[in-house]
A and B are shown apart, each in its own frame.
Chain A
Amino acid sequence: MIFGITSFVLIVILGLRLTFGRFLGRLPEDKRKISTENFKAYVKWIAGWKLSFLKLERWDRCLDRLVAWGRKNFPGWTAWVFYVLVLCYVYLAFSGLFFAWFVPRGLYGFPLLLHVAAGALFAISLTIILFLKARVYLPEKLESRAAAQEKGGFWCPLLGKNLPRIYLEAVAFWVFVAAGFFLAASTLGSMLPYFNYPAQIFFFNLHRWSALASVLSAILALDVMIVN
């Protein structure tokens, strides 16, 4: 119950925050502030999306964009690793959240079987992606890139200035990796014959809260890395 509510609220809040930031980014710099007028305009802007996302064409374009981004950032066969990661992750996130929110019994049956299978692929592809991309987001590599993005970064209404987007990308990346680590570790732990019932409960909770952290970081990554 707590997880269901918390996860729902956090995902909605992050979604609203990111879209609000994206809305502010469209405004002239002098008008980028938190105000009633901007909120009203934001609501209108969101409402203006109407049902456009129900159109297959829109999703098709999104998919094209994602594929193109993958090709651009992951050369050669590594793009396929990225696509596998994305596909598995989408299923894992949707199946996990759907059952957590709407099915009191939790994940079970064929969706659970697929969840386990997709989880294995996710762990493998995440490990490969980590090998490929970890150096990009190492602390020592960030500062130079941050300096280059000083102006065209991520608008922070609270600080009233642009933050280098690379910082958010790094945060999203490492949180996603860390969450993936805990997801895999908790899965492995619950399958090993060494942990008693309280440990099983711990693994279960670790798994679902890690999943939430992973989803939030993935949403952030989608916003700051891919969509932008």
Chain B
Amino acid sequence: MNSKEKDSSRKTTWKFLLQAGTLVISVTVFIFATLSVSRLLAARNQAGQKQEIKLKAADKTEWSGSQVSPLHRIPLHDELNQKIIPAAPNSLPFSSRYSCEPCHSYDTISQGTHFNYRQRPATDRRTEPWFLVDEKAGVQLPVSFQKYPGFWSPEQLGLTDWKFVTLFGRNLNGGGPGEPSQQNQTPDSRWNVSGPLEINCLGCHHRSPLQDHSEWVKQVMRENFRWAATAASGLGEVIGMASRLPSTWSLADGPNPDDHEWAVVPQVKYNQNFFDSKNNAVLELPRPEDDRCLACHSVTPRQATSRAAVDRDVHLQSGLKCVDCHRNDLSHEIVRGFEGEKLSHSRLKASDFTCAGCHLGEKPEKGGFGFTGRLGAPRPAHKGIPRVHFERLSCTACHSGLLPEKEPQAIYTSRANRLGIFGKAVWTSEFPLIVEPVFVREADKKIYPERMTWPAFWAEVKGRELVPVDSVEVMAAAPEVFSLKQDVAALLNSLLPLAGEGFYPAVIISAYLFEPNVDGSLNVRLLEKTPLTGKVTQDRFLLVQLKNDEARPLLPEFDPDEPPPGLEEKVLSVLQNLKSLARGREPVFLIGKYVYRITEGYLDKMEKTGQPAPQPEICWLQGDEYKPFLSPFQVRNLAVLGSGPGILTEEQVSLALKKLSEMNPGRKFAYVGAGFIFSLDQAGKLRAGRHPAAGAVSWPLAHNVRPAQQALGKNGCTDCHSPGSRVFFGKIEAASPLNTTHRATVLGADLMKTGQLFQFLFGFTFLVRPAFKLVLAACVLVIGLLLLVVIIKIAGRVSGISGDSPGSGNRS
């Protein structure tokens, strides 16, 4: 009995313990959960309150709530934070840091897209790089702070902030590298002379007909950094050039009273009409106008003959402005508008301003159920376009850029080719060579239309790595190789006395006419018919004189025994001109059995030894040998250069590489261009090879957006899908400053990674598609009709209408 009671009590105890344990655990979990939730809620409340306070404060300083941009009647301050008195002599230029800061946080704005180059978000899509261009050395190298393959960072190229700003300041808005920290001020810089290149707020916001981008460029080129914004705004005129001042000069030194001609200290003379009686500047500063953006963001096909021949972006034609889509708040982080963009400083929602953001809104292409997009943008029907196109193509693939042709077209862009800078000089540069559109599959598996270029540069080969060599070093090693056109232009200009009135000398080589231009180089024209016969390898050329389109031989034929009056003076003048270019040779003029030469400053006519000259000729006398006026090297290479857009020939590259190697024994050099790397082999012969650094560089384009009627696919699938499709089978050949037969070539299908064979076969199916559709339609019709009959029969039987229904049998 006792033992039974014991057992019973033990059982009760275990059960009790289990229940008690469960209770304790439950209570503990309950308390823990309650405390955790309470703490979370409290934290959330606190965070919410803090954020609310912060937002209100920020909103107050940023926007009053009005849609109107106020007229700015504000005191301007200089970089010493002193108010500018426009009538005062020796006034300093205004400083946007001190003039705008009282109302708009300069530091916040400094984080903006156009200023904060170094710390752009890593998620930011590739954009057009800057281009380090040297038209003599054949260099076009993409430079960017963005870390993408093919882009060279300024650090890699040894470009300090100073160099970067002097090279690219023409299209910088100031800030960023224009205001380097103390540690970034290198010994080669002249910041103390030029001053900082502050953010040029007026460059974008100033609505004034006097606001002038070209003036900004000129001032930056003169190293007048601190004066550039004032001069470009038209608020004042700036004279002087900081670039001519000694590097020891500083603002405190003031103007140099002894030099009014050369090293003139930059000075501002303010236009007092822009100031009120209290010396406040009166400025209209609304949202930026399109022209301000287009000063740096224009793109033009090279084949366009005039501005009138180019269509603008369809959005601009429709009345939108750039800033309607590319918006920003105070952070000045501009919405770029690509899918997947993430803003790091701005409080705007980037996805609202993509193509889909305006044209589709939340509706179902974007997976939502909201209303259509912003700004009343028309909603596309995209009729007949299969779903895969929206999954695999960006909107811009069909809607943006130039229409695809058999080959992508060469274009100019503002930043790369220096468009939009007006003055006496022609600023537009032919290099870099950029083409569009090429269609490239990006990391997100979507196909984008892009602009493409191929880097060209001189490099030192270190193992598998290529280290770009400064073109100054290369040209110093072989100056005569790179000054080919300049040398010939100088020679031709020396012959001017022999030309008739209004005529100027030129030379015909092969099928090309070369004439000197104002830049001291040569322009080339293709002749319909060349007077030269025979092969180019004969190193033949013909000196001519030109007037408009009239050409006649330059060298006069006359009887040397009875020369026409005044002619010998002309010959003397030419020979004197040529003497300065002789390089150890003696210029002579041959005619018949005579040779004209300069002896002790006078023209001397002597009998020529050997055979008489068959025709008048200007030559170089070297020893006892008469050398042609233009060397075989010059003739040969000009003949090659005449045939293409290049500025270098393989022979020039080969010679330059040899010279570089001779001057730098133990180092190996190469030239990268046309998608290849060119280096000398053991035998000293130029060889072309492949290297990743020689590969094409591309970046997505977004503008100009074409009207929907010009979108790819508007004419049907065969706009892209056909056996000879321009999109898939358009040949993309590397454009380069080097004239070479070695050119990297790729087809569109390869860049899109769609496969050539597949695209060919797929394109082929579109030839039989109409028949396919007819057959399918016939099948659908027949099957549908038969199904309809069966359905009617079944319905009849079920409803009892049909005579042979089960029910009808029973009734009968």
Residue positions of A touching B, CB distance < 8 A: 106, 108-110, 113, 116-117, 120, 123-124, 126-127, 130-131, 134, 138-140, 143, 174, 177-178, 180-181, 184-185, 187-188, 190-198, 200-201, 204
Contacts and interface: CB of A to CB of B under 8 A. Distances in A.
Contact of B765 (A106, A113, A185, A194): A113
A110 B787 contact: no
Given A138-B793, A177-B783, A195 B384 contact: yes
B667 interface: no
Instruction: Give the top 7 A-B pairs by smallest Cβ distance, nearest first.
Output: A193-B384, A123-B779, A196-B381, A181-B783, A188-B776, A127-B779, A197-B382
B812 to A, nearest CB: 15
Contact of B387 (A131, A138, A197): A197
7 contacts: A110-B761, A126-B779, A127-B782, A180-B783, A192-B384, A195-B383, A197-B385
Contacts of A110: 758, 761
Nearest to A123: B779
A118 B783 CA distance: 18
Interface in B275-332: none
Interface stretch (B187-195, B446-454, B563-571, B767-775): B767-775
A187 B773 CA distance: 9
A123 B787 contact: no
Given A126-B779, A140-B793, A188-B780, A134 B786 contact: yes
Interface of B: 364-365, 381-388, 390, 716, 755, 758, 761-762, 765, 769, 772-773, 775-780, 782-784, 786-787, 790, 793-794, 797, 804, 806
Given A184-B776, A193-B383, 5 more contacts: A131-B782, A177-B786, A184-B779, A197-B364, A197-B390
Contacts of B783: 126-127, 130, 177, 180-181, 184
Contacts of B777: 188
A108 B753 CA distance: 13
Given A193-B384, A197-B382, A124 B779 contact: yes
B762 A120 contact: no
Contact of A194 (B365, B383, B787, B804): B383
B804 A140 contact: yes
Contacts of A120: 772, 775-776
A124 B775 contact: yes
A139 B758 contact: no
Given A190-B386, A192-B384, A201 B765 contact: no
Contacts of A113: 758, 761-762, 765
B47 to A, nearest CB: 35
Given A116-B765, A124-B779, A138 B758 contact: no
B796 to A, nearest CB: 9
Contact of B786 (A130, A143, A190, A204): A130
Contacts of A126: 779, 783
Nearest to B784: A181
B384, B386, B797: residue with the most chain A Cβ atoms closer than 10 Å: B384
Contacts of B778: 127
Contacts of B364: 197-198, 201
A180 B787 CA distance: 11
Nearest to B445: A105
Contacts of A139: 790, 793-794, 797
A201 B769 CA distance: 21
A43 to B, nearest CB: 39
Contacts of A123: 775-776, 779-780
Nearest to B769: A191
B441 to A, nearest CB: 13
Best-surrounded residue of B385, B761, B783 (most CB of chain A within 10 A): B783
Task: Pick from A109, A120, A204 the residue with the most CB of B within 10 Å.
Answer: A120
Interface centre among A109, A187, A191, A195 (most CB of B within 10 A): A191
A129 to B, nearest CB: 10
A198 B782 CA distance: 27
B365 to A, nearest CB: 6
Contact of A191 (B384, B782, B790): B384
B557 to A, nearest CB: 73
Contacts of A109: 755, 758
Nearest to B793: A139
Contacts of B386: 190, 200
Contacts of A117: 765
Contacts of B765: 113, 116-117
Contacts of B365: 197
A185 B780 contact: yes
B371 to A, nearest CB: 15
Nearest to A116: B765
Contacts of B384: 191-195
A196 B793 contact: no
Nearest to A174: B790
Nearest to B363: A198
Nearest to A204: B387
Contacts of B773: 188, 191-192
